[in-house]
């Protein structure tokens, strides 16, 4: 150590000097701002502890063979009905009819029963009735929202659309033309090009690997009879989850559900897909292309919604790249070095393959550094996990943001439908914050170790030389 | 959810910041002594609230050559104040369950949090604190300048058609600052300095140049009490209102482009028109015109161009009337083939025919459809917060919001026809044609 400086020789004096220096250092490092009392603004707020009053009810309509979740919400005269037909998504399209579910989603409103497409659209719009259909890999879904005063008409039309859709020819031709054009042009967007190619690589020949819109050949070959066949085979009471929310009573909701869905078949196809066999050792996929930035995408195995380690992994993902600017990933690649506008990670839930995905974009000269830091953070999450302090912060966010899920009536009805698909239970809303609070550091880090592992698939698009596997 | 592939076509809507729809909504409005305008919207569905703080300052207020400084300052506003240092703001808001973000447009910059009502006072304290207490270090400045540069690359250079839209805007607006991109150009961003951010902040961030919106589980009395408590002490400043270049009365420009990686042709027409802030009576008419022409698949342009003639795959008409200066009317069409002269002529013909066919009965249906949608604005507290805030911040009277239904109802077919005629013959305008990249020309 060499000679001790003079000011440390006096024992008593040195104590003061060292203390003062330490205090100054602490002030410099952490800043006096940390002492500014922000917590009392929450603790002493005049709005403490206003709970959300909504209650989820399970309603049965035995004479129609239906059961669904319902929440009454009277502050605005609106009603939302969300419905999911399970095992009817894009991955369930027959091999030679790829694109069928998406075309059905686009065309279902084009006429029903005695109503032409134009009349149906006009009448619904005049009454403020909104109806949307969509499909993901696993399910075909829909959502209707209507002013309370238009509910009888809305219900009647939705029933007709589900049971006697017309799929009018001229709209069908135009919808197919649109899809074919998109298939021809969707590579204009580099992010889209990467996502499609990476999806193909991850799942290979499994239907999850398809372009959800289909191929030019299969879309061109789709006929009106295929769509009618789709509606007949896929819309049943046996594969249906319904959520209803809004300004009506439970009794009215039961009548509504019975009217819309009560006459659907009980024999929709429910054969689940096979589980894809993913090769986690595949080489890196790099696509060469001009543009402003390179874009990177990553995928690893995830966990299922009902699995025991769902909440631990949910929190691990949140801390790694799900928390926006405060996530470890963004702190490292964005906030400290300014290498990118931002990175992300997310859990993807599919019935037959759950993934943990991530990505970022950066200009070519910064890309290598950003990727290096990304991989360092990924490895660190797996090897050393997360701290108690990080776990606390994640729990605070997840529990304090709880009430935001009740912002819109359509958000509530969607949530009610998915609570049933994922079998979360009628009391899920009461228990959910408990599930989050119950995660221990040990569980969190076990999940981090298990999922942030070396079986990480990688893909990129941009200015690449010969790195990895080119396409 | 429906017709998801429209998201590819959605770029054509030019991403106008919001749809200008509202009704006889109950909004309360008052001013603090320091000039801060406060707008209160009650929505008691859940114990949650949206706080938005709009500054009447955006890219149009930037000095020549300083493009991007409004946006860069928006980023720096998350980097710490004398009281809440470093990135503590982000951390604290997150631990309190807030969804927090900000955006910059040509006309305004806004900061917003969506959060549990029990955390509102915290968010109000933090927002007020950074109005005048911001500290900007050289290091943070340099990092954020790098980040906004990457943001521009991501938004513009990763989108092959983006140069087309920048060129169209530049051509339409000429000297007017609406012609410059909000992000700034590459060379402007890299040349920005810390002092530029400090100057912009000191000039424009003051209570008398801001609008506070509280939308959610709160009443006017509580809002007034808390606004005074957290924002009342802030000092007003001397701000002179911006003067915008006036466009020549009429010109008609045409832009044709072919860009690498572009695979989808486009036709876009932009017109410089009135805004709600300047002439609300004209703005209502333009809003109805856009809805009549291409509001849905029953609309005449869709029926004619997509279904009958099969010349187009998608049609969109839009009016952005919330602006401090001019409004913008737009028409965008995705051609089934190439956007050549014959196609442009077909679009023009369809437009003229649609207006010839318009009568009071047809117009009545359009208006009823528009009014039937208004109930949805009262659903999520975020929608009305954004709309009311944008209105107030662009100098539009909230009476437009309160009397929106009446304003729409008053519009006559004659007025719509006249407005379309004037648009076509008198408004400064640009027609843009984007050809897909030619792959096999040597």
Residue of chain A whose alpha carbon sits nearest to that of B366 = A126
A62 and A196 inside one domain? yes
- Same domain, yes or no: A338 and A376: yes
How far apart CA A342 and CA A335 sit, in angstroms, is 9
Dist. CA A95–CA A83, nearest whole Å: 26
Is A190 domain-assigned?
Answer: yes
Kindly state whether residues B290 and B267 are assigned to the same domain: yes
pLDDT (0 to 100) of residue A306? 96
Residues B60 and B159 in one domain: yes
What are the residues facing B109 on neighbouring strands? B55, B104
Q: Which residues of A85-95 are buried (b: 16+ CB within 10 A; e: fewer)?
A: bbbbbbbbbee
ipTM: 0.91
Domain assignment of residue B5, yes or no = no
CB contact under 8 A, A407 and B114: yes
- Indicate whether A239 and A316 sit together in one domain: no
Chain B residues whose CB is inside 8 A of the A366 CB are: 150
Establish if A386 belongs to a structural domain. Answer: yes
- Whole-model pTM? 0.91
Q: At what angle do helices A169-185 and A224-234 cross, to 10 degrees?
A: 90
Task: Let me know whether B185 and B305 are in one domain.
Answer: no
The C-alpha atoms of residue B312 and residue B294 are separated, in whole angstroms, by 13
Which of A291, A109, A304 shows the shortest CA–CA distance to A190?
A: A291
Cα Rg for chain B, rounded, in angstroms? 23
Q: Specify whether A294 is located in the same domain as A233.
A: no
Question: In whole angstroms, what is the distance from residue A224 CA to residue A167 CA?
Answer: 6
d(CA B104, CA B182): 7
Confidence band for B438, pLDDT divided at 50, 70 and 90: confident
A chain contacts of residue B261, beta-carbon cutoff 8 Å: 188, 190, 289-291
Choosing from A261, A296, A331, the residue where a domain stops is A261
| B356/B227 same-domain check | no
For residue B2, tell me if it sits in a domain: no
Inter-chain contact A185–B264, Cβ cutoff 8 Å? yes
B375: domain CATH number? 3.30.830.10
Cβ(B330)–Cβ(B10) below 8 Å: no
Instruction: Decide if A308 is inside a domain.
Output: yes
The closest alpha carbon to B332, from B310, B309, B305, B355, belongs to B305
Q: Are residues B286 and B307 in the same domain?
A: yes
A42 falls within a domain: no
Are A255 and A289 within one domain? no
Q: Give A155-201 as a 3 state SS string.
A: HHHHHHHHHCECCCHHHHHHHHHHHHHHHHHHHHCHHHHHHHHHHHH
Do the domain assignments include residue B1?
no
Q: Are residues B408 and B329 in the same domain?
A: yes
**B46 and B195 inside one domain:** yes
Listed residue (A410, A407, A415) closest to A78, CA to CA: A410
- pLDDT single digits (tens) B325-376: 999 999 999 999 999 999 999 999 999 999 999 999 999 999 999 999 999 9
CATH, residue A157: 3.30.830.10
Report chain B residues whose CB lies below 8 A from the CB of A50: 47, 117-118, 217
B215 with B353, same domain: the answer is no
The verdict on residue A220 lying in a domain is: yes
Beta carbons of B97 and A397 less than 8 Å apart: yes
For A391, the closest chain B residue by CA position comes to: B95
Overall domain count for chain A: 2
Query: B47 and A102 in contact by Cβ < 8 A?
Result: no
> Which of B169, B204, B231 is a domain's end point?
B231
Structural domain of A360: 285-423+434-470
Among A128, A132, A399, the residue with its CB nearest the CB of B1 is: A132
Residue B440 lies in a domain: no
Q: How many DSSP H helices and E strands does chain A contain? A: 17, 12
- How far apart CA A384 and CA A215 sit, in angstroms, is 45
In a domain, A439, yes or no: yes
CB pairs under 8 A between A and B: 270
Q: Are A21 and A27 in contact (CB under 8 A)?
A: no
Q: What is the DSSP letter of B178?
A: G
- Domain shared by A253 and A292, yes or no: no
Same domain assignment for residues A326 and A185: no
End-of-domain residue from the set A246, A261, A276 = A261
Same domain, yes or no, for B215 and B270?
no
pLDDT, average across residues B423-442: 84
User: In chain B, what residues touch A109 (CB-CB under 8 Å)?
Assistant: 2
Any domain includes A267: no
Q: Is B356 a catalytic residue?
A: no
Residues A111 and A167 in one domain: yes
Given B23, B42, B62, B74, the catalytic residue: B74
Is residue A254 domain-shared with residue A341, that is, in the same domain? no
What pLDDT does A52 receive?
80
Check CB contact under 8 Å for B261 and A122. no
Residue of A nearest to B92 (CA): A38
**A469–chain B nearest CA distance, Å:** 22
pLDDT digits (tens), chain A, 471 positions: 344 443 333 444 455 555 566 555 554 444 444 568 898 999 889 887 677 878 999 999 999 999 999 999 999 999 999 999 999 999 999 999 999 999 999 999 999 999 999 999 999 999 999 999 999 999 999 999 999 999 999 999 999 999 999 999 999 999 999 999 999 999 899 999 999 999 999 999 999 999 999 999 999 999 999 999 999 999 999 999 999 999 999 999 999 999 999 999 999 999 999 999 999 999 999 999 988 899 999 999 999 999 999 999 999 999 999 998 999 999 999 999 999 999 999 999 999 999 999 999 999 999 999 999 999 999 999 999 999 999 999 999 999 999 999 999 999 999 999 999 999 999 999 999 999 999 999 999 999 999 999 999 999 999 876 555 544
B83 Cβ contact partners less than 8 Å away, ≥ 6 residues apart: A33, A36, B129, B133
Contacts of A131 in chain B (CB under 8 A): 2
Residue B233: CB atoms within 10 Å: 12
Phi, psi (degrees; rounded to nearest 5) at B194: -50, -40
**Domain co-membership, B203 together with B340:** no
Instruction: Domain of residue B353: give its range.
Output: 244-435
Residue A170 lies in a domain: yes
Instruction: Count how many domains chain B has.
Output: 2
State the nearest Cα–Cα gap between A425 and chain B, in angstroms: 22
Kindly state whether residues B217 and B280 are assigned to the same domain.
no
Indicate if B269 and B221 belong to the same structural domain.
no
B20 to B98, B107, B285, B324: CA distances (angstroms): 27, 16, 12, 14
Q: Does B143 fall in a domain?
A: yes
CA distance B75 to A157: 48
């Amino acid at each position: 150590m060499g000679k001790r400086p003079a000011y440390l020789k006096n024992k008593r004096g040195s104590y003061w000097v060292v203390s003062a220096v330490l205090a100054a250092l602490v002030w410099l490092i952490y800043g006096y701002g940390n002492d500014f009392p922000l917590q009392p603004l929450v603790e002493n707020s005049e709005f403490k502890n206003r709970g959300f009053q909504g209650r989820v009810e399970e309603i049965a309509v035995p004479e129609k063979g239906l059961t669904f979740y319902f929440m009454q919400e009277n502050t605005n005269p609106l009603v939302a009905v969300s419905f999911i037909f399970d095992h009817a998504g894009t991955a369930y399209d027959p091999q030679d009819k790829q694109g069928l579910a998406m075309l059905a989603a686009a065309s279902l409103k084009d006429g029903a029963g005695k109503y032409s497409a134009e009349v149906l659209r006009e009448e619904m719009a005049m009454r403020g009735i909104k109806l949307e259909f969509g499909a993901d890999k696993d399910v075909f879904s829909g959502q209707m929202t209507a002013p309370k005063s238009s509910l009888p008409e809305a219900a009647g039309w939705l029933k007709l659309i589900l049971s006697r859709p017309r799929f009018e020819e001229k709209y069908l031709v135009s919808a197919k033309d649109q899809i074919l054009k998109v298939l021809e042009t969707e590579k204009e967007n580099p992010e889209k090009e990467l996502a499609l190619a990476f999806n193909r690589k991850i799942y290979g020949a499994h239907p999850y690997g398809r372009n959800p819109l289909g191929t030019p050949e299969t879309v061109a070959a789709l006929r009106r009879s295929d769509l009618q066949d789709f509606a007949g085979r896929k819309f049943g009471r046996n594969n249906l989850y319904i959520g209803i929310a809004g300004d009506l009573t439970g009794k009215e909701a039961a009548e509504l559900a019975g009217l819309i869905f009560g006459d659907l078949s009980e024999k929709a196809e429910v054969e689940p897909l096979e589980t894809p066999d993913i090769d986690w050792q595949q080489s890196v996929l790099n696509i060469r292309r001009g543009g402003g930035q390179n874009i990177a995408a990553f995928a690893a195995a995830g966990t299922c919604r009902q699995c025991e380690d769902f909440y631990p992994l949910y929190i691990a993902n949140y801390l790694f790249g799900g928390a926006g600017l405060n996530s470890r990933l963004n702190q490292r690649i964005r906030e400290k070095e300014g290498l990118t506008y931002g990175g992300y990670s997310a859990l993807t839930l599919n019935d037959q393959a759950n993934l943990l995905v991530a990505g970022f974009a950066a200009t070519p000269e910064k890309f290598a550094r950003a990727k290096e830091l990304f991989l360092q953070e990924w490895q660190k999450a797996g090897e050393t996990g997360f701290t108690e302090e990080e776990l606390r912060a994640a729990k605070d966010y997840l529990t304090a943001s709880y009430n935001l899920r009740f912002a819109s009536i359509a958000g509530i009805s969607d949530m009610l439908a998915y609570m049933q698909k994922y079998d979360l239970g009628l009391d899920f809303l009461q228990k959910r914050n408990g599930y989050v609070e119950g995660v221990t550091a040990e569980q969190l880090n076990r999940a981090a170790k298990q999922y942030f592992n070396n079986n990480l698939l990688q893909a990129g698009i941009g200015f690449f030389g010969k790195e990895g596997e080119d396409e | 959810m429906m017709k998801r592939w429209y998201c590819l076509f959605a770029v054509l809507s030019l991403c106008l910041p919001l749809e200008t729809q509202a009704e006889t909504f109950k909004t309360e409005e008052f001013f603090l002594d320091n000039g801060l305008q406060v707008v209160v919207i009650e929505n008691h569905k859940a114990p949650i609230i949206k706080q938005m703080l709009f500054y009447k300052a955006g890219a149009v207020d930037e000095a020549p050559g300083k493009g991007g400084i409004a946006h860069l300052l928006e980023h720096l506003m998350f980097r710490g104040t004398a009281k809440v240092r470093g990135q503590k703001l982000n951390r604290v808001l997150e631990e309190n369950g807030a969804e927090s973000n900000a955006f910059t447009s040509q006309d305004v910059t806004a900061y917003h949090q969506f959060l549990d009502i029990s955390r509102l006072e915290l968010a109000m304290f933090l927002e007020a604190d950074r109005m005048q207490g911001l500290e900007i270090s050289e290091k943070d400045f340099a990092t954020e300048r790098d980040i906004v540069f990457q943001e521009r690359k991501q938004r513009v250079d990763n989108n092959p058609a983006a140069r087309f839209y920048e060129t169209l805007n530049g051509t339409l607006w000429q000297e007017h600052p609406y012609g410059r991109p909000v992000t700034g150009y590459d060379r402007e961003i890299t040349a920005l300095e810390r002092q530029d951010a400090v100057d912009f902040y000191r000039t424009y961030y003051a209570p008398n140049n801001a609008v506070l919106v509280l939308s959610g589980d709160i009443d006017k009395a509580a809002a007034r009490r808390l606004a005074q408590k957290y924002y009342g002490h802030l000092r007003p400043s001397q701000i002179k209102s911006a003067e915008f270049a006036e466009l020549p009365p009429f010109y008609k420009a045409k832009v044709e482009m072919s860009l690498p990686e572009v695979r989808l042709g486009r036709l876009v027409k932009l017109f410089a028109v009135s805004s709600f802030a300047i002439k609300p009576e004209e703005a209502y008419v333009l809003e109805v015109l856009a809805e009549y022409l291409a509001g849905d698949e029953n609309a005449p342009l869709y029926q004619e161009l997509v279904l009958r003639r099969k010349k187009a795959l998608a049609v969109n008409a839009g009016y952005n009337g919330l602006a401090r200066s001019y409004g913008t009317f737009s028409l965008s069409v995705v051609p089934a083939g190439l956007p050549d002269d014959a196609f442009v002529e077909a679009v023009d013909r369809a437009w003229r025919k649609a207006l010839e066919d318009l009568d009071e009965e047809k117009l009545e249906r359009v208006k009823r459809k528009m009014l039937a949608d208004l109930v949805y604005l009262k659903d999520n507290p975020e929608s009305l917060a954004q709309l009311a805030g944008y209105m107030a911040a662009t100098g539009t009277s909230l009476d437009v919001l309160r009397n929106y239904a009446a304003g729409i109802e008053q519009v006559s077919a004659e007025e719509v026809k006249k407005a379309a005629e004037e648009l076509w013959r008198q408004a400064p305008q640009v027609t843009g044609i984007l050809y897909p990249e030619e792959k096999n020309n040597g």
